Structure formats: C-alpha cells, structure tokens
Structure 1
Amino acid sequence: MNKAQIDIIKNGKGFIAALDQSGGSTPKALALYGVNEDSYSDEDTMFDLVHEMRTRIITSPSFNSNSILGAILFEQTMDRKIEDDYTADYLWEKKGIVPFLKIDKGLAEEAEGVQLMKPNPNLNELLKRANDRNIFGTKMRSVVNEPNRDGINQVVDQQFEVAKQILHAGLVPIIEPEVNIHSEDKEKCESILKEELLKYLDQLEESQNVMLKLSIPTVSDFYRELIEHPRVLRVVALSGGYPREEANEKLRNNSGLIASFSRALSEGLYANQSDEEFDAILKASIQEIYDASIS
C-alpha cells in the first residue's frame, strides 16, 4: 500500500472527485453533458463518448492535486488510457491524484427499506486487475430508504463483509451506505446507520482501515464520531442529488467532512463548450467544492 497516497487521503486538504458513472447512469451523465442518446447507436460508442468527457475533465489544468485528493473511476475508465497512460497512472504520475475504482455491480431490488448490492462473484479477479492498474482503493454503494434497523444492519453487514475482502487484496475500501435524501425519515435513518457503522468499525483490527462515503447528514456534525474513529481514514460526502450550491452549503456545516461529488462536480459542463469556457467553469466548480470541503 502506497504510504504517500495514504497520507494524502488521510491528511490532505481537498476533496474526492467521483467520475464513476456506470452503464446504467452513463446515458444520464452524457445527457447532462449535452450528448443525447441519438448521438450514439451502441454501448461501445456510448462509453467512448463518456471517456472523452472524463478525459476532458481530468486533463483540464484546474483538475489537480491542489484541490483534488483522489478520483473514483468506473471499471472501463480504469482499463482505458489518457495520453498513452492508463487512467490511474495518469492521475497519480501526472496529477498527483489518488485513484479509486467503483467495484459494485449495482443495486438489488428494495427489501426491508434498503437496497443491497447485487452479487459480485468475480470480485477477486477485479481486485487483481485493480492492483495491476495501480488502483489505491475501491468504492461500493448501497442505499437506505427507510429507518428499518434489520434492513440497515444487512446493508452495513454486507458492506463490511466485502470491505474485508478488499482489505485482504491490499486496497482501501470506501464503504458507501447512501441514505436517500428524499426519505421521509432521513434523520432517523442516519441515526440507525451511525449506530451500525460504529458497531462494525469497533470490530475491525488495528491494521484494517476504511473510508466512508455518506449522505450529508440532516443534523450538522452528526458524523463526528465516525470522522474521529481510529479505523476511518476519511469520511467523504456524496451530493445525493442536491444541486452543487445546496450541497456545498450543507457540507460547510459539517467540519471534517469532505466532498466526493459526481453530478455536482460536472454541473454546467457541456460538450459544445470551448476549452477555455469548459476549463473556466470546471475551475470555478472545483474551487467552490474545495472551499466547502475545508471550511
């Protein structure tokens, strides 16, 4: 495990960029970028276009380690190149940004108020490829919709079970049990989730360190105990569907919580923009998210 990368993630000032839209969310990401579905006729072309979008973001001068600590990649992005380097190598060697990989295969149908991760039988093979591609850590997402303790326990149990598999492979897992921001009982969901997370974190061995990616809590600084837990390298926040301005405002009220935004990061970027316009908008977005993350 790269000690320099651990130090950046644990102690650096900045945020994590989420560039990991997968097959199901790629058409929406492209549409927000101004590339509609009639612009491509098959999946291969779709992924070519989204890689062009991600490459444009990553190669922008404003996308650098002064503000960005790490970037989460989709599997296909990991296996593709930017300027003759595999994406993770480009991020680390050219930008000084720590590369992560989304490893889940999507969400199962809702049961007991939650959506678990779908089975991932080829995870060990994927983790080996991640190591071969110089990936530092991984990310996996579940969703909590209702304050059902049994359901939330299943989410956390599954997350930590897979996290131990990831740790065994020498990678750092980002555990992401997202609380739906539209849940009528969001605050109660967060209360149960925090209890379950603390219970499982306390069971980790001293050598087992993880990250958490959580929805911005309803009550400011509610996740302070998680941020300060000795087994947690960093707690990052997803934007969860909030517009960037609102997500940043909520983030500012949570000391020690940093952003890991996807849609909120790319908001306002379009394929038909000139490089100057594109870079200026991205620079402003990055600065806003950075400021909210370090406040």
Structure 2
Amino acid sequence: MGEQMDSQTLSSVAKAIVAPGKGVLAADESTPTIRKRFDSIQVESTEENRQQYREILFTAQNIERSIGGVILFDETLRQSAKDGTPFPTLLSKRGIVPGIKVDKGAKALALYAGEKITEGLDGLRERLLEYKELGAQFAKWRAVIGIDERDIPSPFGIRANAHALARYAALCQELDIVPIVEPEVLMDGSHDIERCEVVTSQVLEAVFAELDAHHVLFEGMLLKPNMVIAGMQCSRQAGVEEVAEATMRCMTRYVPAAVPGIVFLSGGQSAEKATAHLNAMNATGPYPWEVSFSYGRALQAPVLAAWKGEENNAFAAQHALSKRCRLNGLARDGAYAQEMEQEA
C-alpha cells in the first residue's frame, strides 16, 4: 500500500457522503451537457446563468438532511455565491461534502467499433492536487459501457475501462481524495434486463479485480453503478420489484462488503421511477453497504422545469429540489410511497 494514503480520512469521508438517509447530488454537467439542459427551458448557457442556477441548487432549504455530497464541474468548483462564499465552502458549512468530476469524457475506443474509453488520466495527479486545494474531498470518473444484444461490450472494452477506473481511483486515494468509481452500462438500446444483468456482472467483476490489483482501499471508495434494467427500446420493460431484485442480486455477488456505499446513477430514468427503484432496493435489505443514490437529472429535471431561468421562480425551483431530495432520503429507508409525489 502507498505510504501517503490516510485510510482513516478516506473511510470517514466515504461514510459521511452515504450517511443514513443521505445520497449525492450530481451537479457536474459539462459545459455541452448543461447547455442541452438549458436549451430545454430556453435559457442561454452563460457562465452567469450557470452560476445562478447552481447557487439555487446549493442554497435550497434542508437539502443537507438528505444530501451528503455534491459533485461539481471544474467551473463550478471555482465559482462563488453572490455573497462571495466559494461554492465548496458554502457546501461544507452545510455539512455537505464537495466533490469534483475529473474525467475528460468518453471517446471512441480505437479499433473497437461501438465502444468507448474515458480520457483524462494524463496530468490527473496535478489536477487532483489543485482540486484538493480548492476544497474537493472526493472525485468522480465515469466509464461508459455500451451494450447490445450480443457483441458489445467486448471483453477488452470492459477491461480497458476497468483499468482506467482503477488508475484514477489509486491516484485519488494517494492524495486522500475519495474516488467514486462509475462504470455505467448504458440504458440505450433494445437489450432485455437479463442481458443487462450479464453485462453488469462482467463489468463489476472486472472493475473490482483491477481496483484490487491497484491496491485501492475498498473502505475508502464509493461505487456508482447503473441499475440492472432493460434497454429503453426493449419491448418488455421490467417492473420496479424485478429491477430491484436483479440489481441487488448482481451487487451482492460482485461488490465487496468492505465498500461503504453504492450510489446508483439514474441514467435517464424519470425522477419518480429512480426514487421508486431506490426504495424497492432498500425495502429488500439490509445489505453490507449503504444503498444510496447519485442522481443528476432525476433530482434536477423538476428544478429546471420550475426555474425556467426566471429569478422570481428561484423559490419554486428550490422547493422542487428539496422535495426530490426528501423523497430520495425516504427511499434510502424503503419508506417512500408513490402517494407522496402528490403532497406539497
């Protein structure tokens, strides 16, 4: 093991992010992605508008009750609230751990048609040092695993992404930064839930083998996987209970008990569906790790719809976020019910 690593710090930060009832707000959309989100509500993606929107998110009432960590984008980590408080400081003061997305995006994997590899390892150690100085205590790297009915992903495509995730995680832990390891098997496509379970199993097995080979401390990391779910174009969509059952079977088999928490991504599910799935998974527990969430769109879609770029809608937008955070916090205990969606 690397001598510099402080296993105590890593473990306590990881546990704080997934403390009982808490999960992660993913607010790390890259500039092109946030532009798409803003386009959907006819708002121009200027730095000022992005700052204003993120301030609305980070100052919403009571979110610290169900949000343990927020993933920021490079630009956002450097921004401040209107009163001059840097965003990482603002979050820390609320008891929310600030984190940073560090990958440079998924690009085509050379000579492997239809597969992707995430870039960003070059110079990562230096970037992590700077991010740590700016207040980030955890990081995130997303590997994108395409899936079809038969040939994709290839064993090599899985291995290449698992290797990059492990190199990233080791660099983080060397600097006492908690890595969130995100191998996302995409929801796009017409594959069924059984195919998703097979591929997710292969991916998790490869990822943990690589993490182990790189001496990554399981107690000082978090896993951000996809749920085991049918492709969006599949004619047979599995019910909430079936998704929960398949997902938990897969996690129990492949995720070491030493990992403090699994923070599921929503991957394009609706806000309500993502909460229902999280609730169903927790209802079948207990598990050796915290079963939590790291949602972007599933927390923010209702916020954007309420905000519309209008300053006088800020309170309504914050109310929408507080509600989604609260409902996902309840889902962490299997205590969420569909009827709660109708409540104020």
Q: Which category of TM-score, normalised to the shorter sequence, fits these structures?
A: 0.7 to 0.9
Distance in structure 2 (CA, Å) of the matches to 1:6 and 1:193: 22
Aligned partner of residue 214 in structure 1, secondary structure? coil
From 247, 253, 266, the counterpart of 2:280:
253
User: What are the superposed Cα offsets for residues 55-100 of structure 1, whole Å, 9 maximum, x if unpaired?
Assistant: 1111111322x1111100001111111232221111012x100111
How far apart are residue 27 of structure 1 and its match? 0.5
* Comparing 273-282 and 102-111, the one that deviates more: 273-282
Aligned partner of residue 32 in structure 2, secondary structure? coil
User: What are the superposed Cα offsets for residues 138-181 of structure 1, whole Å, 9 maximum, x if unpaired?
Assistant: 00111111342221111111110121111112211111111101
Contact kept? 1:62, 1:282, Cα under 8 Å: no
From 283, 300, 304, the counterpart of 1:266:
300
For the pair 1:14 / 2:42, whether they are aligned, the reply is no
Structure 1 unaligned residues grouped into runs of 5+: 41-45
Aligned partner of residue 25 in structure 1, secondary structure? helix
Contact kept? 2:91, 2:97, Cα under 8 Å: yes
- Give the equivalent residue in structure 1 for 2:203: 193
Distance in structure 2 (CA, Å) of the matches to 1:293 and 1:149: 34
For the pair 1:215 / 2:245, whether they are aligned, the reply is no
- Give the equivalent residue in structure 2 for 1:125: 126
Alignment of 1:1-295 (within 5 A): 1=9, 5-32=13-40, 34-36=41-43, 39=44, 46-64=46-64, 66-82=65-81, 83-93=83-93, 95-110=94-109, 111=112, 113-146=114-147, 147-183=153-189, 184=191, 185-203=195-213, 205=215, 207=217, 209-218=220-229, 219-221=246-248, 222-226=250-254, 228-230=256-258, 232-255=259-282, 256-269=290-303, 270=307, 271-272=309-310, 274-295=313-334
Distance in structure 2 (CA, Å) of the matches to 1:202 and 1:8: 23
How far apart are residue 229 of structure 1 and its match? 2.7
Contact kept? 2:141, 2:181, Cα under 8 Å: yes
Structure 2 unaligned residues grouped into runs of 5+: 1-8, 148-152, 230-245, 283-289, 335-344
The 1:90–1:227 alpha-carbon spacing in structure 2 relative to 1, beyond 3 Å, is: farther
Distance in structure 2 (CA, Å) of the matches to 1:12 and 1:69: 9
> What residue identity is the alignment partner of 2:251?
Y
What TM-score results when the alignment is normalised by the length of structure 2? 0.76
> What residue identity is the alignment partner of 1:54?
R
Distance in structure 1 (CA, Å) of the matches to 2:317 and 2:142: 30
How far apart are residue 119 of structure 1 and its match? 3.8
The 1:119–1:287 alpha-carbon spacing in structure 2 relative to 1, beyond 3 Å, is: closer
User: What are the superposed Cα offsets for residues 90-131 of structure 1, whole Å, 9 maximum, x if unpaired?
Assistant: 1012x1001110001111115365321124423222111111
The 1:267–1:207 alpha-carbon spacing in structure 2 relative to 1, beyond 3 Å, is: closer
Distance in structure 2 (CA, Å) of the matches to 1:24 and 1:107: 13
> What residue identity is the alignment partner of 2:62?
S
> What residue identity is the alignment partner of 1:131?
K
Distance in structure 2 (CA, Å) of the matches to 1:205 and 1:134: 25
> What residue identity is the alignment partner of 1:100?
G
How far apart are residue 238 of structure 1 and its match? 0.8
How far apart are residue 206 of structure 1 and its match? 7.6
* Comparing 190-199 and 234-243, the one that deviates more: 190-199
Distance in structure 2 (CA, Å) of the matches to 1:117 and 1:101: 16
Distance in structure 2 (CA, Å) of the matches to 1:142 and 1:206: 17
The 1:48–1:100 alpha-carbon spacing in structure 2 relative to 1, beyond 3 Å, is: same
Distance in structure 1 (CA, Å) of the matches to 2:174 and 2:10: 15
Aligned partner of residue 116 in structure 1, secondary structure? strand
**Root mean square deviation of aligned Cα:** 2.2
How far apart are residue 213 of structure 1 and its match? 0.7
How far apart are residue 24 of structure 1 and its match? 2.1
> What residue identity is the alignment partner of 1:254?
M
